[in-house]
Structure 1
Amino acid sequence: MDNKEWTNAIDAIFSKQLENQYTIGHTNALERKTKLKKLLKTILQYREEIQKAMFDDFKKAPAEVDLTEIYTVINELNHAIRHLKHWMKPKAVPSPISLLGTSSYIYYEPKGVVLIVSPWNFPFNLTFGPLVSAVAAGNCVIIKPSEHTPHSAALMKKMIAEVFPENEVAIFEGNAEVAEYITTLPFNHIFFTGSPALGKKVMKAAAENLCSVTLELGGKTPVIVDESADLSKAASRIAWAKYLNNGQVCIAPDYLYIQESVKDDFIKLFKEQVLAFYGENPQESKDYNRIVNKGHFKRLKSYIEEAKITGAVIEMGGETDESQAFIAPTLLSNVRKDSKVMQEEIFGPILPLITFKELDEAIQHIRQHEKPLALYIFSKNKGSVNGIINQTRAGGTVINHNTLHFFNNELPFGGSNNSGIGKGHGHYGFLAFSNQRAIMKQWSPFIALDLLMPPYTDFKQKIIDLTIKYF
């Protein structure tokens, strides 16, 4: 399909959705829940095909697909189905005494026609998750999945076509050129998940149409382990979160700050835990994923090579195999803070370890860099935990574990500034795709304001003065 053909196809669907948006927007809770239930049923029916598509894209283990792709979306769907009627209900709010005789409430209306641009690292999770929120809010939706996971994108296109007509929800595959074109259209909202660099481009394109955005980005997520922590649990949980999806997770621990006094004990426990997870040879483990493509493989390999040249110690791993896009679970110590592995978001199975004597060293380092999407703390010291939270900024924080906040639909998920704009999941996702329309009704035949219209007399000025002073 040449440029003219795919641009015409996108324009045609976009026009159909513009025409259909008010019909979809006027659906009630029961109608929207019916659509969500159909999507849920379809996902369960395609469970094995989703597992196969993910394996074909980058050898993702079926159990990991179940946990991180299927369960998360099913959880989001069930949560929305359970709460949607309450979310949609207009919310009454008080009116001030100066407006006595009025009633005020908030009406949740759909934004209209929205765009979801999803990434490759969790293609089903990070496509269908926002889709649940967009459908719950009553929008028409166009989806642009990543071209780096073509098997997953093709399967999602097939699944969506079975659940929704294209004038309500449609998927367009294709490369970055397709994504660039789609983001120039005058959508009412764009929900983008990806890197901060691409997020800036999406926001710039959206600004041309004064289109609101939700940006779920990334950055360097720190994890802090102090000497009071349960080191065995910290090692187990950090290893799980770091090497899940081969480290290709926006909220994976990106680098580790550990108190100097427990460094050696932690490294020993960490190695033991990785061995328990993936065996003596992780390359032969059916549970260890691969890097998504050669470009990302070469980038990650260069990080390891530069770290070695500049004096880093490979405490574990470091082996690579380009033919399989394999990089072993890797732990680095003695890492220079100006090295690429400490300056760039890693997005792979490499964990740099830095020691500190006093907690303030770690806090100051975090404060000197962009706000991370997440920050993790392993400590039994309540004062230390509160100190870190109060003296840093992050999109989310988990204490004595990592990444779990993503799975709680009662929590807002998202970043701050460089790590994102806006929140998603559960009610927060519904709000992201809704316009909170202010409604006020004048039910009394008379209100005080009627006395304060021109011409302004001395008597009226006295009433204004009293209003300013007391109301």
Structure 2
Amino acid sequence: MAAYPPDSKSRYKTAGREFDGQIEPEEVKKLVSDVREAFGKDKTLSKEWRIGQLKAFDKMLDECTEEFCEAMHKDLHKSHFEGYVTEIALIKAEIHAAIKHLDQWMTPVKKPNGGLNAPCWSTTQRDPLGVVLILGAWNYPIQLSLAPMVGAIAAGNCVIMKPGSYAVESSNVMSRIVNRYLDPECIRVVEGNRKVTGAILEEKFDKIFFTGSGYVGRIVLTAAAKHLTPCALELGGKSPVIVDASADITHAAERIAWGTFLNGGQTCVRPDFLMVHEKVADEFIDKFQATVKKFYGEDPQKTEYFGRCINDAAFNRLSDLVKAHQDKIVFGGKTDASEKYISPTMFDFGSDIEAFSKAEVMQDEIFGPLLPTVRYGKTEDVIQFVRALPTGKPLALYAFGTDKRFINEVKTRTSSGGLCVNDVLMHLTNHDLPFGGVGSSGMGAYHGKYSFDCFTHEKAVLQKSPLLDESIFLKFALGARFPPYDSTKKLIVKVFGDPRLDPLINFPIPFLRNLAKLLVVLAVLRIFGIHLVKV
């Protein structure tokens, strides 16, 4: 599908003006009504519309990469390279996967039949939900707003998306560009203040997809409950990183330093705190400090690859945490309010796990370039500490080590949205893995096929043929379910209702086809007097 030019007559207009994404609270109801009316026209149901929109989406990313990256740099001091790799490239991967597999995803899936239903055809098919609302986040403002849209469009929905408002430049560029490239009748990006968000949440949607804090997530879920609207909530929490005595120290230090300070520490799945085995703690801390210096130089404030706090409130909150734990700083601790800059900082709380758990920096998700560290002696202490986190089950958990018993303990005895062994963050780049939280860290999952599933309903379909049902061979047996019931009918229902009969009812179709072909071949050979077996 071609992009919609600025002067296109098909562009949405509101209150007599061209729609540029900016709306007022009183305009929300009409906006939602118009999008729902568009869904009622069934245009989003076709594969052609979905593929067309996905290709236009991809074209938009190609043609507007520079604008997106410049906006992210203004909002977060994110380098253009990092903006492309951690945001644009991930969205493009989602688009290409959806285009490649859409036929397969849309095709009904055959299911087994029960004895009481045969003969019939049982399938499940994925139906679009309708009009969905996507509420993006500010920390990865392009990716976390647009990536869910890929799944929603592939699933055949109409979409209203509101970006994270704290990332002002990114929000503005999305509302301006997306509404130009994608079908403006069915896909809208809107901007507005909290009153606009409140007005949007008053409306009924068929699903709400929210990325953000647990606090706002509760507000979204409460609003959705009024309409019984299902939600996918991508939240956060305190994601632990555990370094066992068996870990490769250099390998672990490099990956943990990268994941901890990426995007200025403003990543929902960043390593939020470190638990390192006492046998290797000093070695690891020394290597970690050297690695941070190697990555960002003597003065990280001067490198283009280290981010800034999103706003003054975030800077002040993180600065207070630095001040509260000055005596625990291993390195870092530098702040500059004029740039909203906080240097990569590591705290060492020693071996007192109980005191560590009560520290101010451990009471909530940090969401900044601070890494509190504690030393442990027993894996059991780590397991119990993670289970008792005040923020609940984490969105991610990271474990470094080569000891199989240690790895198995972490795998089987902890619960988290995702788990990486000997790496951090990279599980979310595999689009064949679901990305989402558990418990307080979120509900629902997306990426790849999971995004398509997130925005569709799996409908059960059972189809029968009156011609077969009324045939002389089946009518009596199938009629056994109808009253009145004599002993014969009861026996038929009991026999055909026995699940042990299901394998016979659901004999593999490919096998039957091959058997039929073999019988045809044998019959033809017999006609010509050829016998494969002499009796």
TM-score, scaled to structure 1: 0.96
Q: What's the counterpart of residue 315 of structure 1?
A: 330
Q: What's the counterpart of residue 346 of structure 1?
A: 366
* Residue in structure 1 matching 2:243, options 225, 236, 245: 225
Q: What's the counterpart of residue 377 of structure 1?
A: 399
**Post-superposition CA distance 1:294-348 (Å, at most 9, x none):** 101111111122223xxx5101101111111000000001173112211100000
Compare 50-59 and 171-180 and name the one that shifted more: 171-180
Does the alignment pair 1:64 with 2:82? yes
**Post-superposition CA distance 1:101-142 (Å, at most 9, x none):** 111111111100000000100010011100000000011000
Preserved contact between residue 25 and residue 139 of structure 1 (Cα < 8 Å): no
Q: What's the counterpart of residue 191 of structure 1?
A: 209
Distance, in Å, in 2 between the alignment partners of 1:233 and 1:182 is: 47
Distance, in Å, in 2 between the alignment partners of 1:419 and 1:178 is: 26
Compare 169-178 and 220-229 and name the one that shifted more: 169-178
1:41 shift after superposition: 1.0
* Residue in structure 2 matching 1:368, options 388, 409, 412: 388
1:88 shift after superposition: 0.8
Q: What's the counterpart of residue 303 of structure 2?
A: 285
Distance, in Å, in 2 between the alignment partners of 1:70 and 1:307 is: 37
Preserved contact between residue 39 and residue 157 of structure 2 (Cα < 8 Å): yes
1:461 shift after superposition: 3.5
Which amino acid counterpart does residue 377 of structure 2 have in structure 1? K
Does the alignment pair 1:427 with 2:443? no
* Residue in structure 1 matching 2:279, options 254, 261, 266: 261
Q: What's the counterpart of residue 425 of structure 2?
A: 403
Distance, in Å, in 1 between the alignment partners of 2:168 and 2:334 is: 27
Compare 190-199 and 167-176 and name the one that shifted more: 167-176
- RMSD of aligned Cα (Å): 1.8
Matches within 5 A, 1:451-470: 451-467=480-496, 470=500
Preserved contact between residue 44 and residue 50 of structure 2 (Cα < 8 Å): no
Preserved contact between residue 115 and residue 496 of structure 2 (Cα < 8 Å): no
Distance, in Å, in 1 between the alignment partners of 2:492 and 2:374 is: 66
After superposition, the Cα gap between the structure-2 partners of 1:82 and 1:468, relative to the gap in structure 1 and judged at 3 Å, is: closer
1:39 shift after superposition: 1.0
Compare 77-86 and 132-141 and name the one that shifted more: 77-86
Matches within 5 A, 1:5-20: 6-20=24-38
Distance, in Å, in 1 between the alignment partners of 2:307 and 2:27 is: 36
SS in 2 for 1:289: coil
Which amino acid counterpart does residue 454 of structure 1 have in structure 2? P
Distance, in Å, in 2 between the alignment partners of 1:40 and 1:56 is: 23
Which amino acid counterpart does residue 338 of structure 2 have in structure 1? S
Preserved contact between residue 91 and residue 107 of structure 1 (Cα < 8 Å): yes
Q: What's the counterpart of residue 355 of structure 1?
A: 375
Matches within 5 A, 1:28-427: 28-308=46-326, 312-334=327-349, 336-369=356-389, 370-427=392-449
Distance, in Å, in 1 between the alignment partners of 2:119 and 2:495 is: 19
Distance, in Å, in 2 between the alignment partners of 1:344 and 1:307 is: 15
Which amino acid counterpart does residue 187 of structure 1 have in structure 2? F
SS in 2 for 1:251: coil
Compare 447-456 and 426-435 and name the one that shifted more: 447-456
SS in 1 for 2:165: coil
1:467 shift after superposition: 4.9
* Residue in structure 2 matching 1:445, options 431, 447, 469: 469
Preserved contact between residue 50 and residue 153 of structure 2 (Cα < 8 Å): yes
Distance, in Å, in 1 between the alignment partners of 2:139 and 2:335 is: 20
Which amino acid counterpart does residue 436 of structure 1 have in structure 2? E
Distance, in Å, in 2 between the alignment partners of 1:66 and 1:465 is: 62
1:436 shift after superposition: 1.0
Q: What's the counterpart of residue 23 of structure 1?
A: 41
Distance, in Å, in 1 between the alignment partners of 2:220 and 2:439 is: 14
Preserved contact between residue 40 and residue 77 of structure 1 (Cα < 8 Å): yes
Preserved contact between residue 261 and residue 369 of structure 2 (Cα < 8 Å): yes
Give ranges in structure 2 of 5+ residues lacking alignment: 1-13, 16-22, 350-354, 502-535
After superposition, the Cα gap between the structure-2 partners of 1:26 and 1:313, relative to the gap in structure 1 and judged at 3 Å, is: closer
Distance, in Å, in 1 between the alignment partners of 2:240 and 2:403 is: 18
After superposition, the Cα gap between the structure-2 partners of 1:28 and 1:161, relative to the gap in structure 1 and judged at 3 Å, is: same
SS in 2 for 1:105: strand
SS in 2 for 1:104: strand
Distance, in Å, in 1 between the alignment partners of 2:187 and 2:173 is: 15
Preserved contact between residue 13 and residue 166 of structure 1 (Cα < 8 Å): no
Percent identity reads 37
Compare 428-437 and 172-181 and name the one that shifted more: 172-181
Preserved contact between residue 331 and residue 347 of structure 2 (Cα < 8 Å): yes
Compare 121-130 and 379-388 and name the one that shifted more: 379-388
After superposition, the Cα gap between the structure-2 partners of 1:289 and 1:24, relative to the gap in structure 1 and judged at 3 Å, is: farther
Distance, in Å, in 1 between the alignment partners of 2:454 and 2:40 is: 18
**Post-superposition CA distance 1:397-417 (Å, at most 9, x none):** 111100001111111110111
Aligned pairs, number: 467
1:31 shift after superposition: 2.8
Preserved contact between residue 396 and residue 415 of structure 1 (Cα < 8 Å): yes
Larger gyration radius, structure 1 or structure 2: 2
Preserved contact between residue 399 and residue 420 of structure 2 (Cα < 8 Å): yes
Compare 112-121 and 377-386 and name the one that shifted more: 377-386
Distance, in Å, in 1 between the alignment partners of 2:185 and 2:315 is: 39
Which amino acid counterpart does residue 333 of structure 1 have in structure 2? D
After superposition, the Cα gap between the structure-2 partners of 1:50 and 1:442, relative to the gap in structure 1 and judged at 3 Å, is: same
